[in-house]
Amino acid sequence: MPDFPVARFHALKDGEGRIVHAGDLEVALFRDGDRVYALGNTCLHTGGALGEGFVIDGCAVCPWHGWQYDLASGRRRPGIGDLGVPTYATRVEADEVVVTVPDDAMGS
Ligand code: FES
């Protein structure tokens, strides 16, 4: 599973999203306090860019029509079956945010 350094933690605004690239994959990055989360960038409603959204109560909020996704699980809130966006592991190393993407999410 490849790792991608995508941002400086200190440059992320608390509660705001940002679109980053992990290889060819668009990722929505969110800082919530001292934690950082990485979700798939495409909203399941009509394709809004989640990374242009913001955080409320532990959820990423799509800027287009307000759909919300749990930052940790990617599940839509309120839940609709198993509907959700992918999530990716993150870690911070010496202020660098690193996103780990499974091989099967990288495409061919
Ligand atoms: S496109 Fe995200 S809520 Fe509509």
* 8-41 tens-digit pLDDT: 999 999 999 999 999 999 999 999 999 999 999 9
Determine, yes or no, domain membership for 53. yes
CATH code of residue 86: 2.102.10.10
Residue 58 CA, ligand 1 centroid: distance in Å: 18
Q: Mapping DSSP to helix (H, G, I), strand (E, B) and coil, where does residue 101 land?
A: coil
Q: Look at residue 17 and tell me if it is in a domain.
A: yes
Tally of CB atoms within 10 A around 36? 21
Segment 37-85, tens digit of pLDDT: 999 999 999 999 999 999 999 999 999 999 999 999 999 998 777 899 9
Residue 94: give the domain boundaries.
3-103
Count of structural domains, the chain: 1
Does the residue 67 lie in any domain?
yes
Does 62 contact ligand 1 (Cβ within 6 A)? yes
Decide: 91 in ligand 1 pocket, CB within 6 A.
Answer: no
Tokens 């790792």 appear where? 3
Whose alpha carbon is nearest atom 4 of ligand 1? 65
* pTM score, whole prediction: 0.94
Q: Ligand 1 pocket, 48 CB below 6 A?
A: yes
User: CB neighbours of 1 closer than 8 A, spacing ≥ 6?
Assistant: 100, 101, 102, 103
Which amino acid residue places its CA nearest to atom 3 of ligand 1? Answer: 65
In a domain, 108, yes or no: no
